[in-house]
């Protein structure tokens, strides 16, 4: 009888894990380069973690060098730069847009939300602004990927 009870507990425990999502595989790793003192960057990191991404954070004082290394066009810069699965993520890009990028795998260098628009992830605001999420390629050409 104790063996049967133990097996039943294991089965019900497994069902609980499946229902709660606790056993789901971790998402892709996003490496983020940001200033140690930037609160909105920290909030963006929390946003992508909450969406299931694993995040590795590197606080740096030389963001311009990081942006140059990854080929972020000057007109698309923001307060942090991230890299995930071969793509560059510049600024306050929503996690669902990053997931779409990784699902569709277009031939481009990355996506960006230039500046720091109110209402973008990490930039909480009672009056959110409409903004575009742009793609960029290695030649610096841009196109609209999504709007918010």
Tens digit of pLDDT for each residue in 4-42?
Answer: 443 333 343 444 334 444 556 778 999 999 999 999 999
What is the C-alpha to C-alpha distance for residues 87 and 99, in angstroms, rounded to an integer? 11
Mean pLDDT calculated for residue range 70-87: 97
Q: Which residues of 4-101 form beta strands (DSSP E)?
A: 29-34, 54-59, 81-84, 87-91
Residue 2 pLDDT exceeds 50: no
Give the E-state strand segments of 35-125 in sequence order: 54-59, 81-84, 87-91, 110-113
* Residue 27 pLDDT: 84
* DSSP 8-state secondary structure symbol assigned to residue 130: P
Measured in Å, how far apart are the chain's first and last C-alpha atoms? 58
Per residue in 97-117, pLDDT (tens digit) is: 999 999 999 999 999 999 999
pLDDT band at 3 (very low <50, low <70, confident <90, very high): very low
**Statement: residue 134 has pLDDT above 60:** yes
Average model confidence (pLDDT) across the chain: 88
Asked if residue 54 lies in contact with residue 27, where contact means CB atoms within 8 angstroms, the answer is yes
Domains with residue ranges and CATH for the chain: 2-147 (3.40.30.10)
Please report the beta strands in the chain, taking only residues with DSSP state E, as ranges in sequence order: 29-34, 54-59, 81-84, 87-91, 110-113, 132-136, 142-147
């Amino acid at each position: 009888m104790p063996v049967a009870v133990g097996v039943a507990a294991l089965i019900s425990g497994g069902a609980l894990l499946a229902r709660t999502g606790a056993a789901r595989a971790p998402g892709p790793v996003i490496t983020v380069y940001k200033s140690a003192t930037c609160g909105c960057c920290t909030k963006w990191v929390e946003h992508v973690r909450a969406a299931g991404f694993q995040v590795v954070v590197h606080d740096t004082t030389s963001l311009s060098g990081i942006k140059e290394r990854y080929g972020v066009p000057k007109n698309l810069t923001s307060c942090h730069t991230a890299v995930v699965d071969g793509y560059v993520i510049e600024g306050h890009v929503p996690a669902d847009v990053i997931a779409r990028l990784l699902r569709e795998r277009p031939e481009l260098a990355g996506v960006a939300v230039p500046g720091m628009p109110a209402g973008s992830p990490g930039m909480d605001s009672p009056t959110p602004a409409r903004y575009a999420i742009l793609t960029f390629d290695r030649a610096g050409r841009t196109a609209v990927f999504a709007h918010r």
